[in-house]
């Protein structure tokens, strides 16, 4: 029989297939116990959205069986979300802040941002979704959420008075959007500095609580908003949504350039609206050429538009429908990519404050 140390070493040396690194190096072995013939191994995944946990469990089981065939092993798989915790510098207890953007309007950013939020939530993560499109907020509608966030004034430990806003809960996902503050049909007319201030407030003054992921739906275009966020919070990374058409791709390339300029890691491209009309595979090809990860494709499906129009994005991730598997796979790829980014540069990017 192996000793406890030998068992620990055995499990730590198993290579995790997605990252090709050992479980020990990835800190995915929480602990191992051994008592006579009985052994217990606890694995710790870096997110509940980790793909194929059963496969990993099986890999560990086989390795142990090969080395110690008589050992009776019980394997438990747990998960705790890890992140660079960059939000801490503005008082946020959010492990990973993710921006969802593109260069071009109408490619499905808001739909994809909300689907990622709902998807990660359905895997068991604690998720917030912030609508950074103050001119055309669409998140409240897609998530069938209404109401006005309760606001109160609080005094912090240093005696400063500040606003606290309660996010609106939509089936367990915490939302904040300008849409909750303007009445239907009203429009917002703001200039740059005010926009900057509104976004900062949304981020800082919202009582998000502890979150694993805060997803931010960016407005179309490449400019101000992403910059503000990069400066304020330090993003875990940006997801770039594009459609297979060439023109949308060119805009995505510009978006990548902009993120790189402000040192925001690119988590990857998502091809949205894949199918007969716009084609397929163009985004993956460009991603490969640019050496940017490809996070998956989401088909052009009437059901996606219908779920979004009815404000049922949460249901879209829960009910059986032709888009659900693709959407879940995209969420998993995003979570994995964040972890890859974390092990690549654990300290977080150094951001230029312009
Ligand atoms: N994969 C898809 N299949 C079918 N319809 C989709 C898909 N993705 C998005 N849509 C629909 O396309 C429209 C635009 O989507 P959405 O509002 O998410 O785009 P956007 O990029 O956020 O737009 P904007 O630039 O105005 O913020 C919506 O009606 C949405 O339901
Ligand atoms: Mg939008």
Q: Quick one: average pLDDT of 243-247?
A: 82
- Determine if ligand 1 sits within 6 Å of the CB of residue 272: yes
Q: Quick one: average pLDDT of 315-326?
A: 95
pLDDT tops 80 at residue 187:
no
pLDDT tops 80 at residue 354:
no
For residue 113, which atom of ligand 1 is closest to its CA? 18
| Nearest ligand by distance to the CA of 330 | 1
User: What pLDDT does residue 190 have?
Assistant: 66
Q: Ligand 2 center to residue 76 CA distance, Å?
A: 40
- 325 contact partners, CB below 8 Å, separation of at least 6: none
CA distance 111 to 217: 9
Distance in angstroms between the alpha carbons of the first and the last residue of the chain: 60
The full DSSP string for 294-341 is EEEEEE--HHHHHHHHTT-HHHHHHS--TTHHHHHHHHHHHHHHHHHH
CA distance 88 to 231: 13
Q: Quick one: average pLDDT of 241-254?
A: 83
Q: Quick one: average pLDDT of 133-155?
A: 91
CA distance 77 to 56: 9
- Of 65-74, 168-177, 220-229, the one with minimum mean pLDDT is 220-229
| Nearest ligand by distance to the CA of 109 | 1
pLDDT tops 70 at residue 273:
yes
Residue 353 pLDDT level (bands cut at 50, 70, 90): very low
Q: Quick one: average pLDDT of 50-61?
A: 97
Q: Quick one: average pLDDT of 247-251?
A: 77
| Nearest ligand by distance to the CA of 131 | 2
Question: pLDDT > 90: what percent of the chain?
Answer: 64
User: What pLDDT does residue 260 have?
Assistant: 87
CA distance 118 to 112: 10
Tokens, residue 353: 């404050």
Q: Across the chain, what does the average pLDDT equal? A: 90
User: What pLDDT does residue 57 have?
Assistant: 97
Q: Quick one: average pLDDT of 45-74?
A: 96
* Block residue for tokens 């805009």: 251
Domains detected in the chain: 4-79 (3.30.300.130), 86-344 (3.40.50.300)
Whether residue 220 contacts residue 226, with contact meaning beta carbons closer than 8 Å, is answered with no
> What are residue 94's phi and psi, to 5 degrees?
-120, 125
User: What pLDDT does residue 305 have?
Assistant: 97
**pTM, full prediction:** 0.93
Residue 302 pLDDT level (bands cut at 50, 70, 90): very high
- Determine if ligand 1 sits within 6 Å of the CB of residue 298: yes
- Determine if ligand 1 sits within 6 Å of the CB of residue 248: no
Q: Ligand 1 center to residue 107 CA distance, Å?
A: 6
């Amino acid at each position: 029989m192996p000793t406890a140390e030998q068992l620990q070493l055995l499990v730590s040396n198993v290579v995790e297939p997605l990252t090709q690194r050992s479980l020990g190096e990835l800190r995915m072995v929480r602990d191992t116990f051994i008592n006579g013939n009985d052994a217990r191994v606890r694995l710790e995944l870096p997110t509940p959205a980790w793909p194929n946990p059963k496969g990993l469990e099986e890999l560990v089981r086989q390795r142990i069986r090969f080395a110690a065939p008589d050992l009776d092993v019980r394997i438990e798989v747990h998960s705790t979300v890890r992140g660079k915790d960059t939000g801490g510098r503005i008082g946020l207890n959010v492990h990973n802040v993710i921006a969802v953007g593109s260069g071009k309007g109408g490619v499905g950013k808001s739909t994809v941002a909300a689907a990622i939020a709902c998807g990660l939530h359905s895997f068991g993560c604690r998720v917030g979704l912030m609508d950074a499109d103050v001119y055309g907020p669409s998140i409240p509608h897609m998530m069938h959420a209404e109401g006005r966030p309760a606001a109160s004034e609080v005094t912090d430990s240093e005696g400063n008075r500040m606003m606290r806003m309660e996010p609106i809960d939509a089936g367990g996902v915490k939302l904040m959007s300008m849409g909750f503050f303007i009445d239907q049909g009203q429009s917002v007319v703001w200039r740059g500095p005010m926009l900057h201030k509104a976004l900062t407030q949304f981020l800082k003054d919202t009582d998000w609580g502890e979150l694993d992921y805060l997803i931010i739906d960016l407005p179309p275009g490449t400019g101000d908003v992403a910059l503000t966020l990069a400066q304020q919070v330090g993003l875990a990374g940006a997801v770039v949504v594009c459609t297979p058409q060439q023109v949308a791709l060119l805009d995505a390339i510009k978006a990548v350039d902009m993120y790189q300029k402000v040192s925001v890691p690119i988590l990857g491209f998502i091809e949205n609206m894949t199918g007969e009309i716009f084609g397929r595979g163009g985004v993956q090809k460009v991603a490969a050429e640019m050496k940017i990860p490809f996070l998956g494709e989401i088909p052009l499906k009437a059901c996606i538009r219908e779920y979004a129009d009815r404000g049922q994005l949460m249901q879209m991730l829960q009910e059986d429908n032709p888009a659900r598997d693709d959407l879940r796979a995209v969420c998993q790829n995003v979570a994995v990519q964040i972890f890859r980014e974390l092990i690549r540069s654990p300290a977080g990017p150094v951001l230029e404050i312009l």
